[in-house]
Amino acid sequence: MTLGNRIKFLRKRANITQSELAEKLNLSFGTISKYEKDEISIPSETLLKIANIFNVSTDFLLGRVDIKNESIAIAASTKDNIDLSDICDEDKEAIMRFVEMAKNKGKK
């Protein structure tokens, strides 16, 4: 998964538009679109801001760690900030599938 793919994944998981993310970063919609398509490089300061917005590490954004091993990213998706560090990867993935299913149920 590329940097742009990860940003798009996180943005969609947070249920925000490219325009909303652009506003948070004080950038244009077009810039966010180009980031997600990997058409332009992201300055390190912006990368850090993106990581902070989505409560993930820059290592995750850069592909150095995978989300299934990143308990911070999973915990960030819950409002109660539950510590899932002692749960196996397979169960973490099942939890994330359930969360996505529940989110999509409300959209129908």
9-39, pLDDT tens digit by residue? 999 989 999 999 999 999 999 999 999 999 9
Please give the residue range of the domain that contains residue 12.
Answer: 1-65
- The structural domain count of the chain equals 2
Tell whether 70 and 53 lie within a shared domain: no
Q: What is the CATH number of the domain that holds 40?
A: 1.10.260.40
What one-character DSSP code corresponds to residue 46? H
pLDDT at 28: 96
pLDDT at 46: 96
Provide the greatest CA pair distance for the chain.
Answer: 40
The sign of the CA dihedral 29, 34, 9, 72 is negative
CA distance 15 to 9: 10
53-108, pLDDT tens digit by residue? 988 888 888 988 765 444 444 555 555 556 666 777 777 777 777 777 777 776 65
Tell whether 40 and 1 lie within a shared domain: yes
CA distance 88 to 82: 14
Q: pTM of the full predicted structure?
A: 0.63
Task: Return contacts of 73-82, CB within 8 angstroms, 24+ apart.
Answer: 77/13
pLDDT at 70: 45
pLDDT at 68: 42
CA distance 17 to 86: 33
Tokens 């002692």 belong to 86
The sign of the CA dihedral 18, 67, 79, 96 is positive
